[in-house]
Amino acid sequence: MAKTPNDELRGKVVLITGGNGGIGSATTRELIARGATVVVADIDPTTPDRTEQLYGSAAMGYVVDVRDRLSLAAAVSQTLDRHGRIDVTIANAGLLARAATMRTTPAGAFASTMDVNVMGVVNTVATTLEPVIAQRGQIVLVSSVFAFLNGMGAIPYAMSKAAVEQLGRALRIELADHGVNVLTAYFSMVETNMITRGIDEDPVVVELLATLPKPMLKRVAPDSAARAIADGLEARAARVLHPGRWSAISALRGVIGPAFDARLSKDRRTLDILARLERPLPTATTTTKGVS
């Protein structure tokens, strides 16, 4: 019998962190449409009720703080009690610190970004690893094109996404002999609350981004990002870059990156905009990603 496109996900149990956000919600809908059961893990206290109202028996929601491994472990335990398995883990929760230069980024913004975007991913993988191995399943890590682009004005975020990329590369090799596939997803700007609050509402950031080539600024809808993740899972792919034009930039990063950095370092417009970012920040320094 010929394999249908949905066979890889049909009947599988998928746990996704940050499941209430833009990419998280869209991915949950897409996976359910392809026959999966989804466990939505999110810090929002309304997650259980919200998940039941939106998806009925096709999903269940748990309140989870990815910074707390015990919180994740409790959700994993309840999932195993209910379904007996976890086939796929999607580490999607994350933060974006308010734009600033290194000189004006508060220490707390670095700490909170690393706690969620790096340790939160590590905790998610660690608490679900054994069940996923038992199913010879898959792990998805949501990185960003900022893993290999210059992170000017967003150093904590770029650092964290580069760390996620390295985790994915190493895990892919470490888990190969266990039959587990590791997929790292790289997105450009996805139209989520993170983009609206962290970028669009700050005119200086908008101006800074305008110094980049226009093809780099193309945004994608959450539903499009979700389809890219689901397609990658069905293909058991190692990487997804969306939009696809980023594949060439990633492949040539060793050449393009240094050349682009050299140009930016001498671009008066870019340097003047960065100087305007060097201002004290308000107390609230992070925006939840919705999480991704």
- Which residues are known catalytic residues? 157
Residues 6+ away with beta carbon under 8 Å from 45: 63
Cβ atoms 39, 242 nearer than 8 A:
no
Question: Which amino acid, 62?
Answer: Y
**How are beta strands 59-63 and 37-42 bridged, if at all?**
parallel
Residues 6+ away with beta carbon under 8 Å from 17: 24, 41, 42, 64, 66, 72, 90, 91, 92, 93, 120, 124, 291
CA distance 17 to 172: 20
CA distance 39 to 66: 14
Residue with tokens 């980023």: 246
Kindly report the CA angle at 22 between 59 and 245, in degrees rounded to 5?
Answer: 120
> And the tokens for 21?
């956000």
